[in-house]
Amino acid sequence: MGRKNRNRQRAQQNRDGRAEGKRSRDDAGWGAGYAEIIKENKLFEHYYTELKIVPEGEFEEFMEAMREPLPATIRITGYKSHAKEILHTLKEKYFKEVQDLEVDGQKIEAPQPLSWYPDELAWHTNLSRKILRKSPLLEKFHQFLVSETESGNISRQEAVSMIPPLLLKIEPQHKILDMCAAPGSKTAQLIEMVHSDMDVPFPEGFVIANDVDNKRCYLLVHQAKRLNSPCIMVVNHDASSIPRLYFDQDGKKDILFYDRILCDVPCSGDGTMRKNIDVWKKWTTSNSLQLHGLQIRIAVRGVEQLAVGGRMVYSTCSLNPIEDEAVIAALLEKSEGALELADASPDLPGLKYMPGITSWKVMTKEGQWYSDWSEVPTSRHTQIRPTMFPPTDPEKLANMKLERCMRILPHHQNTGGFFVAVLVKKAPMPWNRRYPKLQMGESPTDVPPADGSSADAPVEAVEGETPCSVCSSPPPPKKMKLFGFKEDPFVFLTEDDPIFPSIQAFYDLSPDFPKLNVLTRTHEGKKRQLYMVSKELRNVLLNNSERMKVINTGVKVWSRNTDGEQFGCAFRLAQEGIYTLCPYIRARIINICVEDVKVLLTQENPFLRKLGDDAHNQAKKLGQDLDAPQCPIDLCGWRGKTSIRAFVPRNDALWVFSNC
């Protein structure tokens, strides 16, 4: 056979293979993966049968659910009034249309709200790609979901993944740390909660989202940017040794303790078998044994940085007690009463879950079971640790209240598997009751007491530590190791920066505009983009620039437009930051009607005469039109000599237009 014929044959085989794989994925449903992988793992079944985490008589149902494709779930994102508008559109324009729809003689199951998620802002559907393509109405619905997901108005997020942020009970003033944040769906929830009041452009609270993987940090930035918040910072550190941060409090440098911490640790992921079906063939008990130590170190670092009275949620997408209850038990034992497991059952009415277990065994990858640390041979001590077993003291075990942990099983509400525990900090951690452990380059006089007591108070030695471990001089400072891309600097503008007068005059900024919150990403040359952060994040940035690696922060508010110099200002507004700036802008505002919105969003550079008389004359305000969106819409644009243009991303324009 000639070379050309062989190449043609190989190309055809590749096309056939891709087509077959594509069909398999379509048949499997949204995100279900390749149907040809056999969903069997005898060791997995044996392990969980023995541990009895599934109620008696339900194990077959549990396994059947694990083999079924995971339903697609969506969460309506954004801030309150916008989220309600999108929900209204979904229910009135799309869900009603598919409610009584039949495809190939089969009635379509309409999307249903998650019973435990507040305000009907999360929904699940069993529609597969194959069914979507068979109906124009369903295809229209699918295109709407795709467009809104790209805009950030809707998030494709697994149902159980939505639980931890809800249990944190976030308020707008809370300082929040998300320790292992990528890819960022939970982080988005945290940001939304901080911005629960849209009328406050700069809430007191903020979210610091961390991930150890430099590349995943940029995925995290992409997710967070869709919410256009000045209260988010993305950093790149190992969560188990994330640096302690400082901030100025009334002229005094204090340690930053967080009001809320999300500790969603790396795990073996056997709760994700319904969507990540590679786990079926890769699952082994050694995964949990290897991750247990890291999970404890991350959780310990979290509670060290938690404020007294604060709340930390520990979660995994694993069903394994070695990664779940064992970590929580070890944390509670180390805390010596400083931590308490909270009863979160009333917080999500409608959520079905199993209480945490108090008895479990440890199994090696070879299948050897151990019920107690005393049974483990010395040769296994590097693989199996004492913290993997439940406490042997019945009174101590009872006081831990491990039953307050929550394990979500897939067959109870057609979800993935998940584990979550809510910890409340009652007192400083025992090893930090006076002074926190010194970091490289710090002396004892640099570090305020961890519990807020006087710096002159006597140092209390922690059991297992000699006083000199706190008071002795630290080793010479070492430069922080940085990995991945080198980031541009974050440079805050001064109040007398020469670019401000023209911006101030052009937009007639109100006197309370926080100039000191404006930053750029260059020390030298022209400032091309201007960003804003909240006052509190500015405080953190200024006091920790050498201590942490910041990937991104703030929201873009102005972009340089040299053509604008002829009009008196070289900076145009950026749509990303329009809701942050709007409360401070008192000039160059045109109130327009719905028809004007359509003109601006469908024509590239419409002439001013295309607008209605009211908008053209900049005279009358927009009246309440019952067919108009029932939430405020702010669009930024640029007025030329004879035309006006809206600077709005395509997907945002599609959403506004579809609702007008």
**Residues forming the annotated binding site?**
180-186, 211, 238, 264
Annotated binding site for S-adenosyl-L-methionine: 180-186, 211, 238, 264
- Is 537 exposed, middle or buried (CB count within 10 Å of its CB: 0-12, 13-18, 19+)? buried
Three-class secondary structure of residue 406 per DSSP: strand
CA distance 655 to 651: 6
CA distance 24 to 412: 27
| H-helix segments, 258-354 | 279-282, 285-304, 325-335
- Catalytic, 636? Answer no
Which residues lie below 8 Å from residue 640, measured CB to CB, with a gap of 6+? Answer: 605
The structure tokens 């409360």 sit at 583
- Residue 277 token pair: 């079906």
| Burial state string for 179-208 with b = 16 or more CB within 10 A and e = fewer than 16 | bbbbebbbbbbbbbbbbeeeeebbbebbbb
CA Rg, the chain, in Å?
A: 28
Backbone angles phi, psi at 210, to 5 degrees: -115, 150
Q: Tell me how far CA of residue 35 lies from CA of 21, 39, 69, 339, 648, in angstroms.
A: 9, 9, 9, 45, 41
Q: Which of 217, 317, 405, 636 is catalytic?
A: 317
CA distance 507 to 398: 63
CA distance 421 to 574: 41
In order, the DSSP letters of 307-319 are EEEEEEEEEES--
- Is 308 exposed, middle or buried (CB count within 10 Å of its CB: 0-12, 13-18, 19+)? middle
Handedness of CA 377, 382, 387, 389 (dihedral sign): negative
| Amino acid occupying residue 298 | I
Which residues lie below 8 Å from residue 578, measured CB to CB, with a gap of 6+? Answer: 634, 635, 636
The structure tokens 């188990």 sit at 240
- Residue 302 token pair: 């979290």
| H-helix segments, 29-90 | 42-51, 59-67, 80-89
Active site residues: 317
